[in-house]
Every structure is written in C-alpha cells, then in structure tokens.
Chains A and B, each alone.
Chain A
Amino acid sequence: MPPKNKKQKEDVQDERFQAIVLTDSFQTRFMPLTSVKPRCLLPLANVPLIEYTLEFLAKAGVNEVHLMCSAHAEQVQQYIESSKWSSHDSPFNVYTIMSLESRSVGDAMRDLDNRGLISGDFLLVSGDVVTNIDFSKVMNFHKFKKQQDKDHIITMVLTPASPLHRTRSHVDPATFILDKKTSRCLFYQGIPPVDGKKASINVDPELFEDVEDEIAIRNDLIDCHVDICTPHVPQIFQENFDYQYLRNDFVKGVVTTDLVKKTIYAYISDDSSEYAARVESWATYDAISQDVLARWCYPLVPDSNLIEGTSYTYESKHIYKEEKVVLAQSCKIGSCTSIGANSSVGEGSIIKKSVIGRNCKIGKNVTISNSYVWDGAIIEDNTEVNHTIVASNAHIGSSVTLNPGTVIGFNVKIGNNRQIAHNSRISEIPIDNNDGDSFGDSFESDEDDDDEDENMPSTPTVPHFEVQDIDLVGEDGVGFLYVSDKDFDDESESEAGDQYSGIIYQMKSLNVSDDSIASISNRNKSRKHSRKHSKSRRLSTTSMVSTDYDGEVYSEEEEDFIQEATATVDRSLENNHDLDTAMLELNTLRMSMNANYHDVREATTESLLKQVLKFITTGTLTPQLATKKIFERWGPMYERQIFEPEDGTDLLNILEEKIVKIDKSYNQVVLCFAIQTLYDVALSEETILGWWNSTKDTVNDNIKEVRTLTEKFITWLETAEEESEEESDEDSD
C-alpha cells in the first residue's frame, strides 16, 4: 500500500493539471539586484523565492509545471535543473520555456498560446508568490462556478487585509467590484498609490445592470496573482495583442467590455490562517520576510527547511538557527530572526527582526534591525544596519551607518566610517538605465509610473548619473550609486505621505521603478511627454486611470492613437480580416488608450481612403469602383462608431476634409461614391441631409468644387425622402 497522500489525490483530475509560472516580473523594482539575479531567485528568509511558489504548486497537486523564463533565463533553468524539482520523484514535471522575447505578461501569454501547451484549465502564478492557501477549496470553487457559468474564464485568488496592510501592494493597489452573491468580478481598477491623496475610480453603471443583489466595492484585498485560467485566456491575449498586464489590461478589459462576453470570479479566502502575498516590491519583500519569520504563512516557515541541505531549527520567540552558528556570549538575538549556517556574530552585537544568510560574519557591537543580510556578507565592528538589504558577498566596513532604505548590491564593498544616505542603492558595476539590453532583461523601461519616494533628499537635477564614488563607498570601496530616474517622480507630493510611510514603511521608500519594459511603446512615451507638459503631475496620473476625457493633456496621445488605429485598420484591410475582428481590435485599442469615437472615425476614414487611393493610383480600379468596393466592404465598421446624428455629421466632416486633400481629378467622384455607399451601409438619409444643410452655407471654394458631384446625389436623396418620409423616419435612429 502506498503512503497516503490524500490531498494530492483529491486535486488531481482525470487529466493532468498544469501550472504556468511566470518567472519574470517584467519590472525593474528590484534593481540593481535584478541586474545580476532574476527576482525569483532572490532569497527570502534564505530560501529562493521560487521555492515558495513551487512548494505551493506541489501542495496544490499540480502535475505539470511550465516556467516561462525571459530575463536571466539560463540562471532560472540552471537552478531548476539542479533542484529537487527536476528529480524523478518530484511531485510534478518541470519544464522551462525560454520565452526570451517576452516583455510583458501579455507577451508571455501569447507565446504560450503559440506553443500550444495548454490542454485544460491551468494555474497561472508568478514566480514570487508566497502562500499557504488550501488550494482544493479554490479548485472546488472554480469548478462550481464553471458549472454555473459557461463563460467563466478566470478565478482570481484574493485574501482580505486592511487597505494599508504592509503586505498589500502599495505599488499597484487595486479596487475590485464584486457581485456580493456570486462573487463575480464586475470591475477592476488599479488605483494610484495611496499616499494621502484622493484617488478616484469611475465606473460605468451599466456594468451593474445584471446584478441581482448587492455589489461589494473592495479596496482591502491582497491580490497575489494566483489565478485558475481556462484555455481561453491565452487566446484572448492573442486576440488582443495590446494587452500587457494580466490585471490592468486583461481583467479590466474582459469585465468592462461586452465584446468578449466572458466572466471572471474572485475567490476570497475566509480562513484567517490562509496567507497569500506576492513579493513585488521592496516593501512587500520586507513584509513577507517578516511574515515568514513570524509564522503567518505556516507551514512555510524556515524550520520546515524547504530546500534540501538546510537545517533550521525553531526556538521560542521565532528565532531560527541553522547548525554551526557561532554566537558570542554577549550578543543579543531578538525575536523574529533567522541565522544561516556557519555565520558568526561578535561580542555585543544586537540582531532583531532580521535575516542573516550563511557564512556571514558580523563583527562586534553591530546593530542589525529589520534588515536582510544575504549569504557571505561581512559586516565589521560598530556598524549600524537598519532597514537595509545587504546582498551576497557584500563587505561593509567598520563604523558604517546604513540608513533605512539602503540596498547594497552583490559584491559591493563599503569602506570604514561611511554614512550611506537613505534609500541609496549601490551596485558593483554601474548600471545605465537606458542600456538595459546589455543585461538582456527587463529593466530598461520607460518611466511613467507614480511611485512615491518619501525619504529622498532634495531632488538632484539630472536623473541619470553614475558616480564612482569615493565619497560614497570610501577609498577602498567598490560600488556605484544606482539611480533610477523614477526616483524623482512625484517628489513634491511625497511629503504628504511621509508620516504614513515613515513610521510604518521604512522599506516602502525603496519602491522605485514600476513599469514594464513593454512600455516602450509610443503611447507611453507620449504619455510621459504629455505629463511633462501638464503642470500638475498628479492631474495627469489620475486622469490616466479615470475615464474622464481631458483634451489638453491628451492631445498628443490622441495623435498617437490615430496613428496606431490607422495602422490597425490598415492591417485588417491588408489581411482581409473579417469585419468583427477588425472592429474588435479597433475597439480594444480605443479602450486601452482611452480615445474617443471621433478619433476612431478619423482613423478609420484615413485608413479606408488610403486604401482607395492605393487602388486608384496603381490603376487597379477606377475611382468609382475603388470607393464603392472599399466602402461597401468596410463601411459597416462605422456602424459601431456612430451613435448619435452628430456622430454622422462628424464622420462626414472628416471624410470631406480628407477627400479635399486628395488629387483633384477624382476627388469629387470619391466623395460622392463614399457618401453614396455609406448611405447604403451605415448612414441614414437624415444624417446626410442634415450634414449637407448645416454645412452648405459655410463651405469655401475648394470644398464646393469637391461637392459638385455629391450635390446631385443629395438632390436625389432629398426627393427620395419626400417620397418616403415615413420610412426614413424609422431609419433615422
């Protein structure tokens, strides 16, 4: 009889259960450390982060794990190959997928779809999740909902926590609106960081039309990015090629548009002993480390020795020690501390709420509090380390003070008697922000995020600079200050948030960069641009997330949208997509860029006319036929762009405006036939006549010329209308 492994058996379904782990965060928040090591291999309480995720998957009864690697893919692959997970008795098969081109979650999902690996419902997690939730409950919930609702595609796992909870993400906090009865997710909105400023969300009431009971608006959930997805999810990513993020694009897109007609449910854990969080910033790194030490996510605790070869034992007051730790008689080890093997602590040193790695040497009279000292670091006598991360093999001289928020990179050496300012981040070799490619991963990025940096000293004027800093690291030191240009964002506003973050979150100030590499798209550049134009940065950031339309700030974004939309329509024309696909693409683009319908119409018109001209100039078709052909085939696109009579007028204006500009020899024909065809497919007579009459008096010569042919059509229309007034009334709505 085999040993009982009940839980596993329950979860394993008839088919294999797959999990996709996104090992890359597509973010730069952990720079400069992530320039050397991928985030998922950074140690949390002396255990690489990915172990927590894999442990969770093992417990969840997954039988196949695919790791999507992009940044530092080889390192991840190497690690996995040498770990227990790839041995033959591992609870699941691990495959690493090199998805080197992926620059966002969306890319990774599309890559996944192209590879066709997904066979059924799968678990999607990022490689930095720490959780002990009982997965069988989530799975049952998912199955139950799927039975009830065929359109169900994602179950999100959320745990409740107060809005300002330390483990809750402060970089992208989010509001969920849920149907209270069915816990269907109706709306999702990332809100700007809570920093004492007012953040608002705008919700379309239509979304709640089919809610029977009550809705719950929740801003108190920890979203650890553990989702059960159906195979539709990668497909939807494929269809919406502009989706970058799982939450901000995908979830929001799916719940707010009725195009996809899919539903998303949220599983909210109700058991106080269930813990779920994601290490996605220094603040959460700090919080989760403390949680692991304080046994909030039991049984994921140091003394369960997740990785082989560790020997942590528990002592009361949450102190964990490995074998061969040498502690001087007079040193004091406070609560919530973990010390790795072969580390030594000198006389009179005090360590509390900290993690010390293996082979570390802590000198005499050193004070270490709330800090994380990784393997092999050396800290000499009389040094003070507070709220700091000291990466592997760093060397801190004697009588140094590391002020809160400091990150000492791998192999950095700090000379004696240095004072390291708040929030300095020091790396061994200089890292140029703009040249991220040399590291082959995801830390180049365009800056358009709204991170607060409360404790920064007054703003340096140049965002990019490197200092081979003798002032900084001392004469015999090795290290460069790493400066992300994001550090200087929102400087002026940070004071308000100070009192809140200063006490509670020393580490919070370490939150720096935010956006993904994928943001090097035009629109983000323009956004950044427009933001610089606007006087108040806050204004732009909030309007970015609200659905308000602010013409001024957006002017450049609009242009951009038109470009992109035109390109989209062009593509559809070229590839001869069907009408629905084209409209869907256009619409998603519109929503993702928050453009208005005027722009959409303009883009469509532009693109259609371009096509018409192509036919004419190449001589394939006569102007008449070309116009007819294109507008007949693609004119129906306007149907979804015109809602009011004014919209029609607007369209005709755009059309005319554009046609005036083309070659005089045939522009009359084009205008006439375009309007005629549109009359057949999209516009009512009333609209056309209305437009004609309203603009008749104001036209200039140029336009008059263009209109000569059209005039005849209009006269015909007018007479036709008189004949059949009733019908046209019906049509006119």
Chain B
Amino acid sequence: MSSTTISPEILSLIDPVVSGLKRHQIVGDKVIALAICHLLMKVISAARWTNPYDLINIIRKVGTILHTAYPRKIITGNIVRRVLAIIRDEIETENSNNDNTPMMSSMFSLLSTNSNTSHKVQHNQSKKQSSDFRSVVIEGIRDLIDEIANVNEGIETMSVDLIHDNEILLTPTPTSETVLQFLIKARAKRKFTVLVTESFPNDINTAHNFVKKLADHKIETILIPDTTVFAVMSRVGKVIIGSSAVFANGGCISNSGVAHVVECAKEHKTPVFALAGLFKLSPLYPFNGDDLIEVGNSGKVLNYDDFKFVENVELVTNPLDNYIPPEHIDIYITNVGGFAPSFIYRIVLDNYKTEDNKLE
C-alpha cells in the first residue's frame, strides 16, 4: 500500500494548507473542515490513478501529512476519513452494479477486508469510468461541504424543543458559534437566562463578545467568573457545551475549564447537552489524553514580564482543551438528531469505514 507516492503537483496543493495549519493561520473547526474539503477536492481532480484503490492510498497519504501538520486537530482526520468513506461507498456501488453479485458479501466483507482489497486491485478502470468516478466523488465532497456549511441549521431546529421558558442555562464554551446560534434560535420562541463563564485566560475576549451578541438578541445574559460555577450550578437548568471533537466512545474534547463545569453539573445532577456537528465525530478512541490536548501559550497564564515568577516557577502550563468523559454528558445534539453518548459509535459506523481508522 505504501508504494504509492504523491506527485509534486499534489504536494504543492497541500503545502499552503499544511503551513497554514502549522502557523495556526487557519483557525476555527469549521474553517479547517472546509479548507480540507476544498483541498481534497483539488487533490482528487489533480491526481492520476488507474485504480480507485490508488486514489484511496493517495488520500490516505495526504491525510497523514495533514495530521502531522497539526496532530491535535482531530477535525482534519475526520474530514479525510469522511472523504475516504465516500470513495469506498462509490467503489462498492460500482462493483455491485458491475458484477451483480448477491448481497451475501456484507457480513463476509466485514471480516475479510484484506482479501477483498487485494482482489480488487486487479480491477482497473477505463478512462471514461475513472472520470465518471471522479465526478461522483467530487459530488460527494460537495454534499459534505454543504453539510458542514449548514451544520448549525440542523442543530438549531432542536433548540426550541430543548429549552423551556424562564429556564436558566449555563455555557462554558463561549467560543462556539454553534452554541451561539442555538441560543439565538431558541430566543425566537422562548425567554430564558444564560450564564456565560469568562473562560480566563484564553478565551476571555471571545467570552465578552459572545455575551454582547447574546444581549443584542435580547437574551438575558450574565457573565460569571469561572470560579463561581459550582455556586450557581444549583440554579442552572441545563449546561450547554460546544465541542471540538467527539470520539467513538462518547467522550469529547472541549475548551479548557469545561471538565470542571461538567463535574459540577454531575454533582448537582444538572443535565449536560453537548452540541456537535456530524463532522466533529471521530472514529478514534481517546486512549491517551496527553496526545489530544493542545498546550498553548504560557504567557496567558503568567505574565511573561513578571521576571521573579517566570524564573522561579518550575512549570507553567496552559492547556487549551479538556477531555470530557462520556459519563459527564447526557446527550449529544448533532445536525442529524440527539443521541446518547453510548450511541455515538453507531453514528460513527454510519459515516466512516473501519478500514480508514488508521491512516498510515
């Protein structure tokens, strides 16, 4: 499989995105997701292949490069795997059209993917076939782009059902655009109060803007320090969090500080809703917490010009994310509906192929 090499023109397509990711110039989950989609679309139109499995190998290679550019962004891998799933689906439909073999293979192919692929390696496409194939896959990616671009709409529609009048909500993730839209949408029919944590130090400015936007939409909004979460929790009806990645076990990655908020919520038996677009679901399992959490600028925690401190403190660390275990989340709200954390693995199976869980 590793024999396929990536041609220079494809490399030159990838490089700007890779450096953009490395330099953190492409920021925001949705922006990254869309950038990767567009990149893969270009790669597929530029790539030459005789066999669809070559294309799969190329995409996997590209995926590996993108992953190493910013290993802690799960999203890049998700999108690559989604595209791979699109390609595999297409191959499957094509094959079933061609050989008309009965569907007996479904169980069988699950268990013997390897023999399956080696068998199919023989199967080369004609030029016309491959160009048809290309356009179908690109069409599939277009749909994916639409899905990502409109992810908030799907989530928003559920807001009215979930939020009651005069309820007090708490959100510890003011960086989430999805949470913002969710609340604004709910305001159309409901009247409620939102408590927003300040999210010091990394997102404090974002938190202020978030509060302002909510207030502009006539939502009663209160900005609270991060430390008061436990004290106010008894009055809170629901905790709403955004997430940057959801794992197959139902755990998720969210902003730093969220872990302690959901811990408080657990203590008070307050329900926790996690909002996540479908593209944030990842087929991976969070085996090692260290690998998932991005550690940011220490200067946000401790002012660098304070020399006495900087010199004498053994370690200053500023984690940007928290891992939230599945037992702290009551329900995931996605653009395809609400699911319990224990059910996430099923949604993941629907959207990804297990063959692609490992890209290398």
Contacts and interface: CB of A to CB of B under 8 A. Distances in A.
Interface stretch (A2-10, A391-399, A535-543, A716-724): A2-10
Interface string A312-336: 0111111000000000000000011
A165 B304 CA distance: 9
Nearest to B202: A273
Given A8-B25, A161-B304, A220-B305, A296 B299 contact: yes
A317 B31 CA distance: 31
Interface in A170-203: none
A89 B15 contact: yes
Contacts of B310: 165-166, 296
A87 B16 CA distance: 12
A311 interface: yes
A311 B38 CA distance: 26
B298 A296 contact: yes
B305 A162 contact: yes
A5 B15 CA distance: 12
A55 interface: yes
A3 B18 CA distance: 11
Interface stretch (B116-124, B125-133, B315-323, B339-347): B315-323
B299 A272 contact: yes
- Interface range on chain B (Cβ under 8 Å from partner): 35 or more
A220 B303 CA distance: 14
B306 interface: yes
A318 B315 contact: yes
B307 A3 contact: no
Contact of A164 (B34, B38, B307, B316): B307
Contact of A162 (B23, B296, B306): B306
Contacts of A88: 12
B268 interface: no
Contacts of A297: 297
Given A272-B304, A299-B23, A315-B290, A5 B16 contact: yes
B307 A162 contact: yes
Contacts of B298: 294-296, 298
B19 A91 contact: yes
Contact of A272 (B38, B300, B307): B300
Interface string B94-129: 000000000000000000000000000000000000
Interface string B280-315: 000000000011000111111001111110110011
A55 B24 CA distance: 12
A428 to B, nearest CB: 34
Contacts of A59: 23, 25
A457 B22 CA distance: 47
A114 interface: no
B305 A274 contact: no
B102 to A, nearest CB: 43
A296 B304 contact: yes
Given A160-B305, A165-B307, A275 B299 contact: yes
A83 interface: no
A294 B316 contact: yes
A3 B315 contact: no
Contacts of A311: 68
Contact of B25 (A7, A161, A162, A295): A7
B163 to A, nearest CB: 33
- Interface range on chain A (Cβ under 8 Å from partner): 35 or more
Contacts of A708: none
Nearest to B23: A59
Nearest to B12: A89
Contacts of B34: 4
A4 B26 contact: yes
Nearest to B291: A313
B320 to A, nearest CB: 9
A161 B305 contact: yes
Contact of A295 (B22, B68, B296): B296
B313 to A, nearest CB: 9
Nearest to B300: A273
A299 B25 CA distance: 11
B290 A166 contact: no
A91 to B, nearest CB: 7
Interface string B36-48: 0011000000000
Contact of A6 (B12, B16, B25, B71): B25
A132 B310 CA distance: 18
A139 to B, nearest CB: 16
A273 B302 CA distance: 9
B35 interface: yes
Say what secondary structure dominates the interface of chain A: loop
A579 interface: no
Most chain B CB inside 10 Å of its own CB: which residue of A273, A296, A299: A273
Nearest to A8: B25
B303 A5 contact: no
B17 A3 contact: yes
Interface in B1-37: 12, 15-17, 19-20, 22-26, 31, 34-35
Contacts of A220: 305
B286 to A, nearest CB: 15
A504 B311 CA distance: 8
Contacts of B22: 299, 304-306
Contacts of B35: 3-4
A10 B253 CA distance: 31
Most chain A CB inside 10 Å of its own CB: which residue of B26, B31, B299, B317: B299
Contacts of B38: 1-3
Contacts of A336: 315
Contacts of B307: 161-162, 164-166
A603 to B, nearest CB: 47
Nearest to B317: A318
B350 to A, nearest CB: 28
Contacts of A304: 22
A58 interface: yes
Nearest to A319: B290
Contacts of A58: 19, 23
B304 A295 contact: no
Contacts of A298: 295-299
B282 to A, nearest CB: 19
Interface in A35-76: 55, 58-59
A296 B295 CA distance: 11
Contacts of B297: 132, 273, 275, 295-299
Interface string A262-288: 000000000011110000000000000
Contacts of B314: 335
A299 B318 CA distance: 12
Most chain B CB inside 10 Å of its own CB: which residue of A8, A59, A296, A305: A296
Interface in B224-268: none
Contacts of B315: 294, 317-318, 335-336
A641 B268 CA distance: 85
Interface string A150-166: 00000000011110111
Most chain B CB inside 10 Å of its own CB: which residue of A58, A161, A162, A504: A162
Nearest to A317: B315
A413 B251 CA distance: 54
Contact of B39 (A3, A55, A159, A272): A3
Given A162-B306, A272-B303, A275-B299, A295 B290 contact: no
Contacts of B290: 314-316
Contacts of A2: 16, 38
Interface of A: 1-8, 55, 58-59, 87-89, 91, 132, 159-162, 164-166, 220, 272-275, 294-299, 303-306, 311, 313-318, 335-336, 504
Closest 6 CB pairs of A and B: A298-B297, A162-B307, A273-B299, A161-B305, A165-B307, A3-B35
6 contacts: A58-B19, A272-B304, A294-B315, A295-B298, A295-B317, A305-B22
Given A161-B304, A166-B310, A504-B311, 4 more contacts: A1-B38, A8-B25, A299-B297, A311-B68
Interface of B: 12, 15-17, 19-20, 22-26, 31, 34-35, 38-39, 68, 71, 290-291, 295-300, 303-308, 310-311, 314-318
